[in-house]
Chains A and B, each alone.
Chain A
């Protein structure tokens, strides 16, 4: 995965880097510090009675890692698995989780000024998991609080009350 040049040369105060990825037509950004690595998709071992967006578990160098398909979770029209399907391995509070996305675009640096708060909109995900909307030129990034999203009960990754 090539990391395309940063938008600004000198990092302004308070700027943070976000890894951006694509789900269908939408572009999302997550805190790069939560990302452990990016891998290709390999068929996971299915887990019975899990929600359909949990594809199963894979072996990541000896660690059993659950794989969540964000495209199914976010109701994308298509969720194909091919050679270009990407899995982002996240490291969230001692937990390792993989998410399946259509593609990874680049790493961007966003200053707090370039982030607007998200309007209240009806969506499949809890609004509190959206940090805001980042605008970079013509592009709009949906910045996710991926840690909060992944630890929410309806993701089914943690036992309720955990």
Chain B
């Protein structure tokens, strides 16, 4: 919570990407391995679509990563590979052995380039010029002669010359208006595509769009005139449809000879190419930026180019593998889980020993007791380190947003500041990976639809810069991630009228919270004019579904004109939690300590009942509902004369309730176990844990209890 990270959107704030290098190198290495394997397995006469797509994805993710980190040489090379693979997977080209050869060589070259970056730019750079040229020739459909590898590279041509024309062509390409034919589908609902038309209406400078006739009813075809790159378009469309559903084709604009086809109007390449050829490119500040000109490119090219793949690759490959050393290992999550379970067992055994030894005479059993004390400490340390294997801080997720938001804000002409809180909050790795996409969606929504244009903000008396706040915190046994903005917020009336139009069951009496829930209705946003309502509904059903799949929940809080807050609450699938154990009858329940506010002994006169017999207790001028755990959990009473007289006030979702219990047993760390892996969901219970004596205790879902009291 303590760390606050602020980033201005306008100024090019420096952001240290190097913390992610290691992850990138590992992933890229894995992708290369995978690509190599798939290339080797590829059946040329009958190439499987899935395989081709798989190879393409590998190249694509390496390209994306290396471009982000400024490894422009790798990005350039992989971009070329991607162009070739893209044509293959679209069946515009037939795979031939030369392609596989050149792709394998390129994979090797990428690996050695990456290894060089990993080593901080030391060692000689491998020239990729000839490879790039060969790929682009293949991508253009030219089949090289019998000895392709020998013929293709111009042995004496220095690197810059070959690529220079491309770099020259770049400024033109970037601002060129292109005619595209964009095919979207198959769609479940054709109106999804309408939202894409709205994009062109809403985003100034994006271009023009018109309907074209489509042969299939669930596929829409548009003619688009734009200056944006395909990647940018895809990113924008991803708001509404999945990327797989979009096919972008050139319709007459820039199509041409080999180098042009390979260039494929992609601005990313433009940046990359200039980065390779001229050290004054965008990324020359980046660590490991290539200095092709400075290094002896020509002899390198000669080494790489000749002959067949196998004999040549052997030696340099051994060298580069030695370089690309990993400081971490990747382990199957199941193994980690098993380790965690075993340690959990150890902790319980240790607790049992500690309990049994308590009565021993300290003098007579001094050594034993000292040993047990050591065991205690060691087990806790062990448990902590084992648990930490799976936990990673939220900063990993948050740190991707400053850049994304800056780009988006620039594109939309808005001014947005990002504030992140609670970056140190740790979350299970599995959850982190799955929550990233929904969060990205929410942040983009906030920027796109929440924050107003600067002029509009000034007119409303708000600061010109909008603020989007991302925060993560532990709350009552869950992790709450909030996306907050100070934009225009949701409009109750508009949502209600929209919902009525759509035939949803709504009424004026609905609470705000219920109204906000309406935007989660599938397809709610894609209807006409929703962008005018707020546009918040864009893909919100998908967000909600993804979060629900993680057993989480989404809540919206909004005030029109003042902004909106989306809270994503995720359960701890795996975490140690501070718990407070309470006794009810003979049973023990665990309350998440973070939601416990206070506890007190209750006096009869403080408790009053209202009409239906539900009880209220007065705590310092505040009335709150009483929940008798005994009743909710139907705890059997053996001692009928005894009654509960201790209340524990818990807070969740901003409300408080008082739980009536028999006794407070203590506080301890508990290992949260999933009840649903072998059983089903139990109301008011969020999980289970194992107590020191080996028995199971249920962990209460305070959020559920509070909601129960509300209704």
Where the two chains meet, the residues of A that have a C-beta atom closer than 8 Å to any C-beta of B are 44-50, 56-59, 61-66, 94-97, 156-159, 162
> Among B348, B677, B681, B683, which residue has its beta carbon within 8 angstroms of that of A64?
B677
Taking a contact as CB atoms under 8 Å apart, the answer to whether A62 and B690 are in contact is yes
| CB of B476 within 8 Å of the partner chain | no
Taking a contact as CB atoms under 8 Å apart, the answer to whether A48 and B682 are in contact is yes
| CB of B688 within 8 Å of the partner chain | yes
Q: A47-B682, A47-B698, A48-B682 are in contact. Are A64 and B342 (CB under 8 A)?
A: no
| Residues of B close to A97: CB separation below 8 A | 678
| Residues of A close to B677: CB separation below 8 A | 63-64, 94-95
| Residues of A close to B683: CB separation below 8 A | 49
Taking a contact as CB atoms under 8 Å apart, the answer to whether A64 and B345 are in contact is no
Q: List 25 A-B contacts (CB under 8 A).
A: A45-B697, A45-B698, A47-B682, A49-B634, A49-B682, A49-B683, A50-B682, A57-B679, A57-B696, A58-B696, A59-B348, A59-B690, A61-B345, A62-B341, A62-B342, A62-B345, A63-B673, A63-B677, A65-B678, A66-B679, A95-B678, A157-B679, A159-B676, A159-B681, A162-B680
* A93, chain B: closest CB distance, angstroms: 11
Q: How far is the CA of A50 from the CA of B688 in the complex (A)?
A: 15
Taking a contact as CB atoms under 8 Å apart, the answer to whether A45 and B587 are in contact is yes
Given contact pairs A45-B587, A50-B682, A157-B679, enumerate 4 new A-B contacts (beta carbons under 8 Å). A62-B342, A62-B345, A64-B673, A64-B674
Q: How far is the CA of A46 from the CA of B677 in the complex (A)?
A: 17
User: Which 5 pairs, one residue from A and one from B, show the smallest C-beta to C-beta distance?
Assistant: A48-B633, A62-B341, A45-B696, A66-B679, A159-B680
Per-residue interface assignment for chain B, residues 586 to 623, with 1 indicating a CB less than 8 Å from any chain A CB and 0 otherwise: 01000000000000000000000000000000000000
> Among B674, B676, B695, which residue has its beta carbon within 8 angstroms of that of A45?
B695
| Residues of A close to B676: CB separation below 8 A | 159
Interface of chain B residues 647 through 675 with chain A (CB within 8 A): 673-675
| Residues of B close to A63: CB separation below 8 A | 341, 673, 677-678
| CB of B344 within 8 Å of the partner chain | yes
* B583, chain A: closest CB distance, angstroms: 13
Interface of chain B residues 306 through 359 with chain A (CB within 8 A): 341-342, 344-345, 348
| CB of B632 within 8 Å of the partner chain | yes
Q: How far is the CA of A50 from the CA of B685 in the complex (A)?
A: 13
| Residues of B close to A158: CB separation below 8 A | 680
| Residues of A close to B673: CB separation below 8 A | 62-64
Nearest chain B residue, comparing its CB with the CB of A57: B696
Taking a contact as CB atoms under 8 Å apart, the answer to whether A64 and B634 are in contact is no
| CB of B694 within 8 Å of the partner chain | yes
| Residues of A close to B348: CB separation below 8 A | 59, 62
Taking a contact as CB atoms under 8 Å apart, the answer to whether B675 and A64 are in contact is yes
* A145, chain B: closest CB distance, angstroms: 19
Q: How far is the CA of A157 from the CA of B688 in the complex (A)?
A: 16
Taking a contact as CB atoms under 8 Å apart, the answer to whether B341 and A66 are in contact is no
| Residues of B close to A46: CB separation below 8 A | 587
Q: How far is the CA of A160 from the CA of B683 in the complex (A)?
A: 14
Q: How far is the CA of A162 from the CA of B695 in the complex (A)?
A: 27
Nearest chain A residue, comparing its CB with the CB of B674: A64
Q: A48-B682, A156-B680, A157-B679 are in contact. Are A64 and B696 (CB under 8 A)?
A: yes
| Residues of A close to B635: CB separation below 8 A | 48
Q: How far is the CA of A9 from the CA of B342 in the complex (A)?
A: 39
Q: How far is the CA of A133 from the CA of B697 in the complex (A)?
A: 41
Nearest chain A residue, comparing its CB with the CB of B676: A159
Where the two chains meet, the residues of B that have a C-beta atom closer than 8 Å to any C-beta of A are 341-342, 344-345, 348, 587, 632-635, 673-685, 688, 690, 694-698
* A152, chain B: closest CB distance, angstroms: 13
Taking a contact as CB atoms under 8 Å apart, the answer to whether B678 and A64 are in contact is yes
Nearest chain A residue, comparing its CB with the CB of B585: A46
Q: How far is the CA of A59 from the CA of B690 in the complex (A)?
A: 7
Q: How far is the CA of A63 from the CA of B345 in the complex (A)?
A: 10
| Residues of B close to A159: CB separation below 8 A | 676, 680-681
Q: How far is the CA of A157 from the CA of B344 in the complex (A)?
A: 25
> Among B341, B674, B684, which residue has its beta carbon within 8 angstroms of that of A61?
B341
Q: How far is the CA of A58 from the CA of B680 in the complex (A)?
A: 14
* A67, chain B: closest CB distance, angstroms: 10
Nearest chain A residue, comparing its CB with the CB of B688: A64
Residue from the set A45, A50, A156 with the largest chain B CB neighbour count within 10 Å: A45
Nearest chain A residue, comparing its CB with the CB of B680: A159
Residue from the set B345, B682, B696, B697 with the largest chain A CB neighbour count within 10 Å: B696
| Residues of A close to B684: CB separation below 8 A | 48
Taking a contact as CB atoms under 8 Å apart, the answer to whether B694 and A59 are in contact is yes
Taking a contact as CB atoms under 8 Å apart, the answer to whether B587 and A157 are in contact is no
Q: How far is the CA of A47 from the CA of B634 in the complex (A)?
A: 9
Q: How far is the CA of A66 from the CA of B673 in the complex (A)?
A: 13
Q: How far is the CA of A131 from the CA of B673 in the complex (A)?
A: 35
Q: How far is the CA of A159 from the CA of B682 in the complex (A)?
A: 10
Q: How far is the CA of A46 from the CA of B632 in the complex (A)?
A: 13
* A105, chain B: closest CB distance, angstroms: 26
| Residues of B close to A56: CB separation below 8 A | 696
* A27, chain B: closest CB distance, angstroms: 27
| Residues of A close to B696: CB separation below 8 A | 44-45, 56-59, 64
Nearest chain B residue, comparing its CB with the CB of A50: B682
Q: A59-B690, A61-B345, A62-B341 are in contact. Are A96 and B698 (CB under 8 A)?
A: no
Residue from the set A49, A94, A95 with the largest chain B CB neighbour count within 10 Å: A49
Q: How far is the CA of A57 from the CA of B677 in the complex (A)?
A: 12
| Residues of B close to A44: CB separation below 8 A | 696
| Residues of A close to B694: CB separation below 8 A | 59
* A70, chain B: closest CB distance, angstroms: 16
Q: How far is the CA of A158 from the CA of B680 in the complex (A)?
A: 5
* B576, chain A: closest CB distance, angstroms: 14
Taking a contact as CB atoms under 8 Å apart, the answer to whether B679 and A64 are in contact is yes
Taking a contact as CB atoms under 8 Å apart, the answer to whether B695 and A66 are in contact is no
* A111, chain B: closest CB distance, angstroms: 33
Residue from the set B587, B679, B684 with the largest chain A CB neighbour count within 10 Å: B679
| Residues of A close to B632: CB separation below 8 A | 48
* A58, chain B: closest CB distance, angstroms: 6
Q: How far is the CA of A44 from the CA of B697 in the complex (A)?
A: 10
Q: How far is the CA of A61 from the CA of B340 in the complex (A)?
A: 11
| Residues of A close to B678: CB separation below 8 A | 63-66, 95-97
Q: How far is the CA of A44 from the CA of B673 in the complex (A)?
A: 16
* A95, chain B: closest CB distance, angstroms: 5
Nearest chain A residue, comparing its CB with the CB of B342: A62
Q: How far is the CA of A13 from the CA of B681 in the complex (A)?
A: 43
* A160, chain B: closest CB distance, angstroms: 9
| Residues of B close to A59: CB separation below 8 A | 348, 690, 694-696
| Residues of B close to A95: CB separation below 8 A | 677-678
* B702, chain A: closest CB distance, angstroms: 16
* B660, chain A: closest CB distance, angstroms: 15
Q: How far is the CA of A71 from the CA of B682 in the complex (A)?
A: 23
Q: A45-B696, A64-B675 are in contact. Are A57 and B681 (CB under 8 A)?
A: no
Q: How far is the CA of A94 from the CA of B674 in the complex (A)?
A: 14
Nearest chain A residue, comparing its CB with the CB of B341: A62
Taking a contact as CB atoms under 8 Å apart, the answer to whether B680 and A157 are in contact is yes
* B247, chain A: closest CB distance, angstroms: 36
Q: How far is the CA of A96 from the CA of B694 in the complex (A)?
A: 18
Q: How far is the CA of A45 from the CA of B633 in the complex (A)?
A: 12
Q: How far is the CA of A159 from the CA of B681 in the complex (A)?
A: 7
Q: How far is the CA of A133 from the CA of B696 in the complex (A)?
A: 38
* A22, chain B: closest CB distance, angstroms: 25
Q: How far is the CA of A49 from the CA of B631 in the complex (A)?
A: 11
Taking a contact as CB atoms under 8 Å apart, the answer to whether A57 and B688 are in contact is yes
Nearest chain A residue, comparing its CB with the CB of B683: A49
* A43, chain B: closest CB distance, angstroms: 8
Nearest chain B residue, comparing its CB with the CB of A98: B678
